């Protein structure tokens, strides 16, 4: 890597551009395009994500302020608000969705050995959805309420490294549980979900695919106890049972046995967990469900640090394009963190990259030096001179 490259271009070197070109050709993204190719569009939108731009006019002003550096960033056309708006409206969002999935596959291989909160060799996923509120008059296609529009981000988060392995974008009216219909189950993996995904027919499909699930029971859960295992009540466990369903339709949808675990947390709240794994330690099941909170933190993080709450276009294609490019930028930064073996968090990396895209310092030096300075500032034995 040459030290004369811009920090932004150094970051983009970690993306598989041969895959991007193949996807552009697959969906004919650059067909009959004179200005603002798909690559120009992606790089401009990635720049907006990294530097926290708020509008297309904002992107145009910042990029045109550095005309001599645009070529070295990879941009071949002059960025303009109208060209970016047309690109977001017309270029197929699936180009960027499949490109993000290619990056996700790379990131998951890099983070495959990351430790989990529980001692498990299997893959553990947390499934949840978050809602992004929109204006109904501007986004009439995103149905949600009578007076409100919204889009939902259904995310399957790999808890090793907090990498999203599956994302489905829908309007706000789609119920969370319906995403299980498009999810391809991985045999042997654990799927941790809240009560919104308690649908016995869909959970039984996971069971038949040799996958495991951990979820919470609803208050009206009806069952017949078949067997009780001894538990240590000093740990907070109240019972560990094998049960079967007794309601006709529920039993028809899920004819196999379930495992029911009651647990009282540190605040004294009783929690009831359901799983189809019969041999795992009950406390491990409880810890698995507790680890589901990482997907909530992921949603909070991306809403705070990526541009997915204010959109640069109002069409469905523009919204999905912006979300998928935001996901791609997040994963590229995660790949850089692992390949350069950095100790900085993703938040710290994004903060540094947001103010240095036009600098020519080597990125490894930039991010390593920042980590070293942080350690010096936190050293209580360091002499304070000022």
pLDDT of residue 304: 79
Yes or no: domain 194-291 corresponds to CATH 3.30.1380: no
Measure CA of the first residue to CA of the last residue in the chain; give whole Å.
38
Q: In this predicted structure, what is the pLDDT of residue 243?
A: 95
Would you state the pLDDT for residue 329? 94
Q: What span, in angstroms and rounded, lies between the C-alpha atoms of 349 and 94?
A: 28
Judge whether 190 and 167 are in contact, CB under 8 Å.
no
CB neighbour burial string for 142-171, b if at least 16 within 10 angstroms, e if fewer: bbbeeeebbbbbbbbbbbbbbbbbbbbbbb
Each residue's pLDDT expressed in tens, for the chain with a length of 386 residues = 445 789 999 999 999 999 999 999 999 999 988 888 999 999 999 999 999 898 999 999 999 999 999 999 999 888 889 999 999 999 999 999 999 999 999 999 998 888 776 777 788 999 999 999 998 888 999 989 888 899 999 999 998 888 888 899 999 999 999 999 999 999 999 999 999 999 999 999 999 999 999 999 998 999 999 999 999 999 999 999 999 999 999 999 999 999 999 999 888 889 999 999 999 999 999 999 998 888 888 888 888 777 787 899 999 999 999 999 999 999 999 999 999 999 888 889 989 999 999 999 998 999 886 555 555 445 555 544 43
Q: What is the pLDDT of residue 252?
A: 95
Residues with Cβ within 8 Å of 145's Cβ and at least 6 positions away in sequence, in order, are 172
- At residue 384, the pLDDT reads 44
Q: What is the pLDDT of residue 81?
A: 92
Strand partners, 213: 191
Model pLDDT, residue 378: 52
Domain positions in the chain are 7-96+321-371, 194-291
Closest CA to 186 of 122, 128, 253: 122
Side-by-side strand order, sheet with 237-245: 163-171, 149-158, 124-134, 190-192, 212-216, 270-275, 258-264, 237-245, 223-229
Name beta bridge partners: 261.
240, 273
- The secondary structure of residue 36, as a DSSP letter, is S
Neighbours of 13 (CB within 10 A): 14
């Amino acid at each position: 890597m040459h030290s004369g490259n811009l920090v932004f271009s150094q970051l983009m070197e970690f993306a598989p551009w041969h895959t991007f070109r193949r996807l552009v050709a697959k969906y004919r993204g650059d067909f009959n395009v004179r200005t603002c190719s798909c690559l120009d569009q992606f790089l401009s939108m990635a720049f907006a994500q990294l530097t926290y731009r708020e509008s297309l006019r904002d992107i145009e002003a910042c990029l045109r302020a550095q005309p001599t550096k645009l070529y070295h960033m990879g941009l071949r056309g002059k960025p303009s608000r109208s060209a970016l708006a047309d690109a977001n409206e017309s270029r197929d969002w699936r180009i960027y969705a499949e490109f993000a999935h290619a990056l996700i596959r790379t990131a998951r291989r890099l983070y495959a050995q990351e430790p989990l909160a529980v001692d498990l060799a299997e893959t553990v996923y947390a499934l949840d959805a978050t809602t992004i509120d929109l204006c109904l008059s501007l986004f009439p296609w995103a149905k949600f309420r009578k007076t409100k529009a919204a889009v939902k981000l259904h995310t399957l988060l790999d808890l090793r490294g907090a990498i999203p392995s599956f994302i489905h974008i829908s309007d706000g009216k789609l119920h969370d549980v319906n995403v299980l219909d498009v999810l391809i189950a991985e045999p042997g993996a654990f799927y941790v979900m809240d009560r919104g995904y308690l649908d016995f027919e869909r959970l039984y499909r996971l069971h038949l695919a040799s996958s495991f699930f951990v979820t919470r029971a609803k208050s009206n859960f009806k069952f017949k106890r078949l067997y009780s295992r001894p538990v240590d009540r000093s740990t907070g466990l109240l019972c560990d049972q094998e049960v079967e369903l007794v309601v006709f339709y529920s039993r028809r949808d899920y004819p196999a046995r379930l495992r029911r675990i009651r647990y009282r947390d540190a605040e004294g709240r009783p929690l009831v967990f359901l799983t189809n794994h019969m041999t795992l330690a009950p406390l491990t099941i409880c810890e698995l469900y507790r680890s589901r909170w990482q997907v909530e933190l992921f949603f909070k993080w991306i809403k705070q640090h990526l541009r997915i709450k204010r959109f640069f276009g109002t069409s469905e294609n523009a919204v999905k394009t912006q979300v998928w490019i935001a996901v791609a930028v997040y994963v590229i930064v995660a790949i850089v963190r692992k390949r350069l073996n950095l100790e900085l968090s993703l938040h710290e990396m994004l903060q540094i990259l947001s103010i240095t895209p036009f600098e020519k310092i080597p990125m490894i030096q930039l991010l390593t030096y920042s980590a070293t300075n942080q350690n010096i500032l936190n050293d209580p034995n360091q002499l304070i001179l000022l």
